[in-house]
Chain A
Amino acid sequence: MGAIYPRLWRYSVALTGRRDWGDDLAQTTCLRALDKADQFEVGTHLDRWMFRMCQRVWLNELRSRKMRTGGGLMPVEEIDLADNSPGTEVNILARQVLSHVNALPEAQRQSVLLVYVEGFSYKEAAEIMEIPVGTVMSRLAGARKKLNTIMADPEGGQQ
């Protein structure tokens, strides 16, 4: 589980849109996984199982606190990179990219992370998100359109 944790954390940040919430979600997911350890089928993919659990925890959390932030959009600046990586220009670019992705609606952001960052197939991503493959495709198509527009016109793209 330790090997997966950084990826789980990143997914949690992408899901929640905020680093501090991502911290909490990743930790809660680990505890949840611990509780459900007996349900994990040896030989299946632990990362997919954890990611799926992570989403369930997050959805439960959203329900329980009756999200006040509307459609899931979070402050864009919440996802940010630390300053300790080499290459300032790369970091500026990376920050911009993360901001753009973070400005997507939560469902699209989640799909982008699973397919374009984690490299899951549509089918695998659909299983993790517990939605039909067609919905994954719609989300990705929507995300591509928005990102294309935002990145082509950085001035007018935010939200």
Chain B
Amino acid sequence: MNTPRAFSDEDLTAFLDGEADDALMADISAALETDPDLADRMAGLEIPMDAIAGAFDQMLADAPAMPVLPTPEVAKPEPANTNAPLKWAWGLGTFGTGIAAGLAVALFTGFGTPEPAPRGWVSFVASYQTLYTTATLTEVNPTEAEAALQLASVSEGIGIDLAALPQAEGLTFKRAQLLGFNGKPLVQISYLRDDGTPVALCIIPAGPDAKGVSMGAAEGLDAARWNTPGFGFLLIGGQDGEPLAQEAETFQEWSQDIAT
């Protein structure tokens, strides 16, 4: 265990992405304490994840409408060879428009299975949050003592002190609970905005690099993401980005002080 270990860029990347196994995670974490060169290498692999995800999220708004497709009955299944060449010539500029014009009008509805969200923690949290309605939290009214108890409990679970969680304007604290994602603790603090919009502040252990607030969307909800060293934050809820941005600012300012 004390033998110095050489880490590949792939190892460090897996560490940053939270994909390293426990042993590798522990080895790198320990080595980072004592090896400045390793920290430099790690810094050389850091990228603005939220900016990248946010930029690509904005692209979704530009996506064209799905073309009208024939019904499954019209389409003839091909043999099982999945690499069989397409029967449509491609490379001519008018290909796309030709498809839409030439096909039957019926919308394809054959894949009726609801689409799960096989994605990262933000996506899972976002899916969960979409289930919240005003009524979910209306009757949840903890006393100050109960709220403090909940916050103390989740603080212990996540490893940061949430006792001084700020009061964001327009948000009423409803509940703090500890969830889990891929074996990591995940804190969810639920609020109700004055207009009844459910909003959640979520915190999960993350990489060592701090990142500023980046606004985006997840599962149709507004989302603000930022990082402090060691923790990822997500404030999510509603579809009117302005209040969320202000609320995120409040929480982000506070989070800078709790970074350990």
Residues of chain A from 84 to 117 with CB closer than 8 A to chain B in the complex:
84-86, 90-91, 93-95, 97-98, 101, 112-113, 115-117
> Which residues of B are found within 8 Å of A32, using beta-carbon distances?
86
> Which residues of B are found within 8 Å of A120, using beta-carbon distances?
118-120
Quote the shortest CB–CB distance from B181 to chain A (angstroms): 11
Closest to A30 in B: B69
> Which residues of B are found within 8 Å of A147, using beta-carbon distances?
47, 52
Closest to B76 in A: A35
| Interface assignment of B58: CB less than 8 Å from any CB of chain A | yes
| Interface assignment of B64: CB less than 8 Å from any CB of chain A | yes
> Which residues of A are found within 8 Å of B116, using beta-carbon distances?
45
Residues of chain B from 42 to 67 with CB closer than 8 A to chain A in the complex:
43-49, 51-67
Cβ of A2 and Cβ of B66 under 8 Å apart?
Answer: yes
Cβ of A31 and Cβ of B51 under 8 Å apart?
Answer: no
Cβ of B69 and Cβ of A98 under 8 Å apart?
Answer: no
Cβ of A64 and Cβ of B51 under 8 Å apart?
Answer: no
Cβ of A60 and Cβ of B86 under 8 Å apart?
Answer: yes
Quote the shortest CB–CB distance from B117 to chain A (angstroms): 8
Closest to A118 in B: B119
Our pick among A9, A141, A151 for the contact of B13 (Cβ within 8 Å) is A141
Closest to B123 in A: A119
Cβ of B78 and Cβ of A36 under 8 Å apart?
Answer: yes
Cβ of B85 and Cβ of A64 under 8 Å apart?
Answer: yes
Closest to B182 in A: A121
On chain B, the number of residues with a Cβ less than 8 Å from chain A's Cβ atoms is: 68
Residues of chain B from 66 to 111 with CB closer than 8 A to chain A in the complex:
66-67, 69-70, 72, 75-78, 80, 82-83, 85-86, 88, 90-91, 93, 95-96, 99-100, 107-108, 110-111
| Interface assignment of B200: CB less than 8 Å from any CB of chain A | no
Quote the shortest CB–CB distance from A114 to chain B (angstroms): 10
Residue from B19, B55, B90, B215 whose CB has the most chain A CB atoms within 10 Å: B55
* Interface bracket on A: 35 or more
Cβ of B46 and Cβ of A148 under 8 Å apart?
Answer: yes
Cβ of B10 and Cβ of A138 under 8 Å apart?
Answer: yes
Q: Interface code A16-38, partner B: CB below 8 Å = 1, 0 otherwise? A: 00011001101110111111111
Q: Interface code A124-151, partner B: CB below 8 Å = 1, 0 otherwise? A: 1000000000100110111111011101
> How many angstroms between the C-alpha atoms of A30 and B16 in the bound complex?
35
Quote the shortest CB–CB distance from B258 to chain A (angstroms): 26
> Which residues of B are found within 8 Å of A101, using beta-carbon distances?
52, 55-56
> Which residues of A are found within 8 Å of B241, using beta-carbon distances?
86
> How many angstroms between the C-alpha atoms of A95 and B86 in the bound complex?
33
Cβ of B69 and Cβ of A34 under 8 Å apart?
Answer: yes
> Which residues of B are found within 8 Å of A137, using beta-carbon distances?
10, 13-14, 19
Using CB atoms and an 8 Å cutoff, list the residues of chain A in contact with chain B: 1-7, 9-10, 13-14, 19-20, 23-24, 26-28, 30-40, 42-43, 45-48, 53, 56-57, 60-61, 64-65, 79, 81-82, 84-86, 90-91, 93-95, 97-98, 101, 112-113, 115-122, 124, 134, 137-138, 140-145, 147-149, 151
A–B Cβ pairs within 8 angstroms, 21 of them: A1-B111, A20-B93, A27-B99, A27-B100, A28-B95, A34-B110, A36-B78, A37-B77, A45-B115, A60-B85, A61-B86, A79-B59, A82-B61, A90-B58, A119-B119, A121-B120, A138-B10, A140-B10, A141-B12, A142-B9, A147-B52
Using CB atoms and an 8 Å cutoff, list the residues of chain B in contact with chain A: 8-10, 12-14, 16-17, 19, 43-49, 51-67, 69-70, 72, 75-78, 80, 82-83, 85-86, 88, 90-91, 93, 95-96, 99-100, 107-108, 110-111, 113, 115-116, 118-123, 215, 241
